Amino acid sequence: MSGPRRRNDSAATRQALLRAAADLFAEKGFTATTVRDVAGRAGVNQALVFRYFGSKQELFAAVLGSDAELAASEPVDELPRRVLDALVGEEPDAEHHRLLAMLRSCGDADAAQLLRTEVGERYTARLAELSAEPDARLRADLVLAWFLGLGLLRSVLGAESLVRADPEVLERHVLRAVSALLERVEPPDDET
């Protein structure tokens, strides 16, 4: 049961719902997560999900909106490294959680549409800024596909070589390849 402070503090309730939803979408994906699950994890009545977010889709969009902040952050030339840190860093953080939520939810048509509009387009546009080539958007989509594939294989499917690999080694290999596609990304100094 939630305490009186939570009931009287709408900002805290909204944050608790967002945290619970991010956790559940990362654990179970969009389809398997119910509004009742989110409310239960947050310790509030499920009617509050609808009051603050309107629907499960809008709640998912709000969770993804935090991920869009990563795409919009400056400087853009650090974006590939920040995304990789979220995907392969030793300490899972909020970005890692949101990426898992995206990966586990892309099989649902509604979630996939939100992913395309709320996240995919923003990342592609930002990554395309790192190339002056005429096919910059294609290059950006290739990098994004690689990032999502890496996340899927490592975090969802548990590919042993990727799970056991040193995060610094993974980042070095990936950034070396990314720098070939997006010329404004500095390749790593260490070629080992």
Considering only residues 191 and 111, tell me which one the structure prediction assigns the higher pLDDT: 111
Which pLDDT band, with edges at 50, 70 and 90, does 109 fall under? confident
pTM reported for the whole predicted model: 0.72
Give residue-wise pLDDT tens across range 57-82. Answer: 889 888 877 655 666 666 888 889 88
Q: Decide if pLDDT at 128 tops 90.
A: yes
pLDDT at 3: 46
Closest residue by Cα to residue 14 from 69, 68, 53, 58: 53
pLDDT tens-digit readout, 155-173: 778 889 998 999 889 999 9
Residue 28, exposed/middle/buried by CB under 10 A (0-12, 13-18, 19+)?
middle
| Structure tokens belonging to residue 174 | 């990936």
CA distance 174 to 165: 13
pLDDT at 92 over 70: no
The pLDDT score that the predictor gives to residue 138 is 96
Which among 86, 106, 111 is positioned nearest to 96, based on CA atoms? 86
What pLDDT is attached to residue 151? Answer: 81
User: What integer is the mean pLDDT of 3-20?
Assistant: 76
State yes or no: pLDDT of 20 exceeds 60: yes
* Residue bearing the bigger pLDDT, 135 or 4: 135
Instruction: State the virtual CA torsion across 12, 17, 21, 22 in degrees, nearest 10.
Output: -10
Single out the residue of 50, 33, 31 nearest to residue 41, CA to CA: 33
For the ranges 19-23, 103-107, 137-141, the lowest mean pLDDT is seen at 103-107
